[in-house]
Amino acid sequence: MAASHIRDVAALADKCAWNGVQEYDLIRGDFAAPYDYSNYTTPVVGPDSIDHDVLRMVRRMSIEEKVGQMTQIEVGQLIDCDGYLNVTAAEYWIDKWKVGSILETPGNHNGRYNWYSAARFSEFTDSVQKIALERGSKVPLIWGLDSVRGAQYVGGAVIFPAGIATAATFNPEYAYDAGRVAAKDSRAAGTHWAFAPIMDLSVNKLWSRVYENFGEDPFLSSEMAKMSVAGYQGDYKNDRTRVAACMKHFIGYGYPFDGKDRSNRHIAAHELLEYYVPPFKAAIDAGVATAMESYGVINGEAVMLSHYYLQKLLREQLGFKGMLVSDWGEINSQAQTYFTAKDIRQATQVALQRTSVDMSMVADDQSFGENTIDLIKRGVISERRLDQSVARILQLKKDLGLLKQPFADPKLAATVGSDQDIETARNAVRESVTLLKNSNNTLPLGLYEKVIFLGPTLNSTRYMGGGWNVHWQGPSDNEGDSVYQGFGDTILQGIESITGAAPAYLPGVDIEGAQLTSVDDIVAAAKSADKIVIGLGEHTYAENEGNIDSLALPWGQLDLVYTVAKRTNKPIVVVLVEGRPRGLGDVPKIADAVVNAYLPGAYGGLPIAEVLYGKVNPSGRLPITYPASEAQASDTIWQASYSAYNPQWAFGYGLGYSDITYSNVTLSADALFVGASITATVTVTNNGPYPQKEPVMMFTHQQYRLGYAPELFRLRGFRKVSLAVGESKEVSFTLTAEELAFWDRDLKRRIEPAPVNIAINPFTAADVVATVNLQDVDA
């Protein structure tokens, strides 16, 4: 007995001799072959009634099996000490707790490899599915993955621009494309459920998650959200290259009062309905299959335990019929973080009694299963409450085809990282890059010009990615760019592709601002050049999870610009690679040109270079307000009109290389009544010298509003038009009185009569305005 025990210990010690340093999953294959796919331009048929066969499944289940379906654990619970699948652990969770869902990639949870290829990932997921079919409830698992920028957790998959960059295109087709490719590549890995799109309004610009979302504006976010849902889901009940989308985070997550993630949000109920709810309503109308509740509290009330937010508003008012999952450990956090419950048991009880949550992303322990089973058996919670949730979960599994075939399709793996996916992502970058300043036509650069390139972001794939990039917070310092194994580029590589020669480059400083190149060497190189391009930006959020106390970029980065400007007399171009609008000090005054590239993703280098050298005419526009000071961190385009709005750059701002002019706005009528509409028309002309894609935006501003301060501007419509040199196009928008209704403090919709300015592209040189009279009616 003792000898056997010694042998077992020795075997275990040998097995666990792995040092924990993740390996590279060497990704090979032919990634050039194109593939066919179906586009879905109309709203998908989303979740509806529960099928009879699903109800029969629910009735046959034991309490333990039902609770298991409502339990989601993270994949790290199944990882052995050697980094591979721990079959015994998987059998334990499926046999003992009958879990119905897994989330995440082994690469984020001490798996053997840091970036799992589709083949390696699917080998893991398929192995766990086989256990699920043989043990426990014998019901296939649904596997969730944060595929928010393409399937960025799947090795070699194309990492798309962040949400803020996608929004900057003002072209929702790119939200669709990113979702479509993410779905395909997620399915290739054996996962079926994408925790995306992310639709929080990025109000406080200090917030570490600004980059994930589609900006600060309700209308822009809504348009992007519904196309994103269509991209992820398509005909998800029949098309097995699509996944279930998950709108998140419901609700109000993007306005932490101090900018720190999960801080309390102070949002009046009528303002929540007016600004924060519309993107989620758009996603529901588009057929989104699932939703995820938000971290934290609003006005002190825990979202996770709120009957109003997670039953009355979500289910009854907005009509959401899909499956609702908690965010990571949020039931447990009520007792452990927010102190909104005495203990985890009480939090579990209240979440089940007051809300419509269907699945607990408990993540790391069995507390949800233990407490829920006990609460049911003691009669505190009715089994009927479980039946509602389990029915929604099983219906989702049926809709995704999992009850028939839950395994990965190996044919999809050959399409991961394909050339056409790379080009799709690069097209999004080409339309997102935003030119914010261009004095004396400093840009575009000429191939004949001698240019010196400086700064930490020009020679990094990692910094172009930011968060949700290989790992949740991006590659670590140890991984750097090597983790990509060539599946990406840099801005310098893009420049070399354009010019045919290796660019002259000195890093100057690192991403934290520490000096890497002597000042004398920098100045000497700068003096010898015709123009100077300096790349500034943010560290990936891996080291500090992105929380910051100041918007300002590291001093060393800013001082690099100041030093070059002071000691040379050469034109300076600053390229920003950042996930949120960082403080730039005097850089906007000093630099001759400023380009915002946001977080363009792993293949952003070539498109940025194309913009710098005039191969692409920039057409991106700011989807956020870019503050000029810390005090403006929460300024938005829709704030009260009497409040000062003097940002560095306004929402919707951006330049191109062509001279674009707008005619006056013509209206089809001078009065606006309920039940009718008016048409606003403007003619846009490209006076050259380059072809231009031009975002045309229509805003409204009510001159006064009885009892309620009108907003500065509300975006009501936008279109992106392509204009050849010398070409003019008429662009028309329709506006109804109902669109000008607003929520009052009694949570009723109302319209107040007043003159309303219809503005096209305010805060730009193209600003044109006409006025219509909104008539006195009830909304």
DSSP state of 655: B
CA angle, 388 then 356 then 109, to 5°: 100
Q: Cα dist. 605→442, 451, 597, 686, 708 in Å?
A: 20, 17, 10, 28, 47
- Whole-number Å distance between alpha carbons of 359 and 104: 15
- Computed on alpha carbons and rounded to an integer, the radius of gyration of the chain in Å comes to 27
- Whole-number Å distance between alpha carbons of 509 and 556: 7
- Whole-number Å distance between alpha carbons of 416 and 381: 45
DSSP assignment string, 517-569: S-HHHHHHHHHTSSEEEEEEEPPPTTTTTT--S-SBPPHHHHHHHHHHHHH--
Instruction: Tokens for 202, please give them.
Output: 């990025």
Q: Give the residue from 84, 75, 85, 78 showing the smallest Cα distance to 108.
A: 75
Helix (H) or strand (E) holding 301: strand 301-302
- Whole-number Å distance between alpha carbons of 249 and 310: 12
What is the separation of C-alpha 688 from the centre of its chain, rounded to a whole number of angstroms?
A: 35
Per-residue burial over 119-129, b = 16 or more CB atoms within 10 Å of its CB, e = otherwise? bbbbebbeebb
The catalytic position among 327, 358, 399, 421 is: 327
- Whole-number Å distance between alpha carbons of 248 and 252: 10
Q: How many helices (H) and strands (E) does the chain have?
A: 23, 27
| Catalytic residue flag (residue 327) | yes
Side chain identity, residue 633:
A
Q: Residue for token digits 């937010």?
A: 309
Strands 749-750 and 742-743: antiparallel
Q: Give the residue from 163, 195, 200 showing the smallest Cα distance to 178.
A: 163
Helix (H) or strand (E) holding 423: helix 419-432
Q: Give the residue from 741, 739, 708 showing the smallest Cα distance to 642.
A: 708
Helix (H) or strand (E) holding 93: helix 87-96
Contact 220, 716 (CB under 8 A): no
The sign one gets for the Cα dihedral 135, 136, 141, 145 is negative
478 by DSSP, 3-state: which?
coil
- Whole-number Å distance between alpha carbons of 73 and 364: 6
Q: How many Cβ atoms sit within 10 Å of the Cβ of residue 204?
A: 22
- Whole-number Å distance between alpha carbons of 686 and 681: 17
Q: Which residues contact 542 (CB under 8 A, 6 or more apart)?
A: 471, 473, 474, 475, 476, 477
Strands 434-438 and 593-596: antiparallel
Contact 573, 407 (CB under 8 A): no
- Whole-number Å distance between alpha carbons of 524 and 533: 15
Instruction: List residues with catalytic annotation.
Output: 327
